């Protein structure tokens, strides 16, 4: 394979697609450059569970032939991407947490709808990436992947491989899965755009997560427009998923450039949003970002949102369906590889039925209260949950002089969109730790309002230019 001079650091779906269409860059050239990047950085960052470079090169050669004969499929044609390990791609193992995970021998015979749609759009799969929730470490396996901005730091909790691989340009987009922030959180830690769509807006068919809880797949990309391109492909009704949202496919890029003058941006005044689980530096960066939105013509309105830290407890309380899913979908032998996880799942099923119904009622009330706030504003802006500056193996973090659980603080703010089933996007809003560590701004909207969130995120992105900075590896 010949060495290529293609600038992957500054490559995006948006700027490469026209060049691919005009045959200025070939899919093969792009994939060869991506494979070279993978060979160099995989030993350092460890994002891939199952890399598929040989198959990717075959796909690139076919894509090149298609484009040469005029069969251009659209802006994703020839674009390299990755999938969280939980998402099935026919012929590629779904290990469910890596080589020691309970499903390490599972080979899908049918692709997820996500993979099918991206492949039909001409996308080229580079491999399956680390779900990154720490189970491998608990099992005595690999330590998990590292952050592209600082390999000593965490790229996030779950979907960490999606954040690490995309930030390091080992793919120009990735699909993660978000239960309590596992798309938005690695996006924040990796200076990426991460969208958790409306619940069931992206099909859950072939995704090894429970559709009965708060799980929702979503894209991570370098820019807002790249993210919207992937949502254009994936936001479609799927009869294979009984929970799939039966709405028309949206053009998520149609209003990107319309600006935000006159929009109402709600900013929570609640202590739980700006409490001591958030560092002072993170708070300062996010508040400056909100100030930029005001400078762009939006009205900033103080609001109160009701959830507080109950989001995680609520997700756990109503998660019996999710626990049942996992216990039923893995064999006894497979679950034996996960003794601690199995114990937690079984414990969730032992909760009294009364507790479950109380949680469901509370969840309903919370959703109604949040939706009442969203009738008064267009978007809610707040910090993205973070493990800002935490070491990759940190169990705790010291924030404003207090020791707190690292993973819990990541879920603290992200959980509101999860339990409400609303869309939320994290967009890069600056850096801390001597201008070295990424921080994200989260925008939360009403059901099916992804285009509006993209519009606000795009206006902010273009006004600040944080998306033009890249990690040096």
Q: Which residues are catalytic?
A: 84, 158, 182
Tokens at 384, concatenated: 């993205």
What is the pairing mode between strands 396-399 and 379-383? unpaired
Tokens at 137, concatenated: 């470490």
Alpha carbon of residue 346 to chain centroid: 28
Whether residue 129 contacts residue 165, with contact meaning beta carbons closer than 8 Å, is answered with yes
Name the one residue in this structure whose structure tokens are 């592209």: 148
């Amino acid at each position: 394979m010949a060495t290529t001079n293609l600038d992957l650091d500054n490559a995006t779906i948006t700027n490469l697609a026209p060049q691919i269409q005009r045959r200025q860059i070939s899919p093969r050239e792009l994939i060869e450059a991506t494979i070279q990047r993978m060979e160099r950085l995989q030993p350092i960052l460890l994002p891939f569970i199952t890399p598929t470079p040989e198959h990717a090169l075959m796909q690139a050669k076919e894509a090149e032939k298609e484009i040469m004969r005029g069969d251009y499929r659209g802006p994703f044609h020839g674009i390299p991407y990755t999938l969280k390990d939980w998402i099935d791609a026919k012929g590629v193992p779904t290990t469910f947490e890596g080589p020691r995970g309970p499903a390490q021998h599972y080979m899908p015979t049918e692709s997820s709808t996500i993979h099918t749609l991206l492949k039909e759009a001409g996308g080229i799969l580079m491999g399956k990436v680390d779900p990154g929730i720490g189970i491998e470490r608990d099992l005595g396996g690999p330590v998990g992947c590292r952050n592209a901005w600082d390999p000593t730091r965490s790229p996030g909790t779950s979907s960490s491989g999606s954040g690490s691989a995309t930030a390091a340009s080992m793919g120009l987009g990735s699909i993660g899965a978000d239960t309590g922030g596992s798309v938005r959180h690695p996006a924040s830690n990796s200076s990426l755009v991460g969208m958790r769509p409306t619940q069931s807006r992206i099909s859950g068919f072939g995704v090894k997560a429970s559709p009965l809880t708060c799980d929702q797949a979503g894209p991570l990309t370098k820019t807002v427009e790249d993210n919207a391109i992937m949502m254009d492909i994936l936001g479609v009704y799927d009869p294979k998923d009984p929970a799939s949202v039966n709405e028309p496919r949206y053009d998520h890029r149609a209003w990107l450039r319309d600006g935000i003058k006159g929009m109402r941006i709600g900013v929570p005044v609640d202590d739980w949003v700006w409490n001591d689980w958030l560092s002072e530096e993170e708070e300062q960066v996010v508040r400056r970002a909100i100030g930029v939105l005001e400078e762009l013509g939006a009205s900033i309105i103080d609001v109160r949102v009701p959830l507080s830290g109950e989001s995680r407890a609520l997700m756990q309380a109503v998660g019996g369906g999710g626990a049942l899913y996992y216990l039923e979908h893995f064999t006894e032998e497979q679950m034996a590889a996960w003794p601690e996880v199995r114990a937690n799942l079984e414990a969730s099923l032992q909760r009294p039925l009364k507790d479950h119904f109380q949680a469901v009622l509370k969840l309903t009330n919370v959703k109604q209260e949040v939706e009442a706030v969203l009738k008064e504003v267009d978007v809610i802006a707040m910090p993205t949950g973070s493990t800002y500056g935490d070491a990759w193996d940190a169990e705790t973090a010291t924030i404003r002089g207090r020791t707190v659980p690292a993973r819990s603080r990541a879920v603290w703010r992200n959980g509101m969109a999860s339990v409400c089933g609303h869309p939320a996007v994290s967009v890069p809003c600056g850096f801390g730790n001597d201008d070295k560590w990424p921080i994200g701004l989260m925008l939360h909207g009403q059901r099916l309002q992804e285009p509006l969130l993209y519009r606000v995120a795009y206006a902010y992105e273009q006004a600040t230019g944080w998306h033009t900075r890249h990690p040096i590896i």
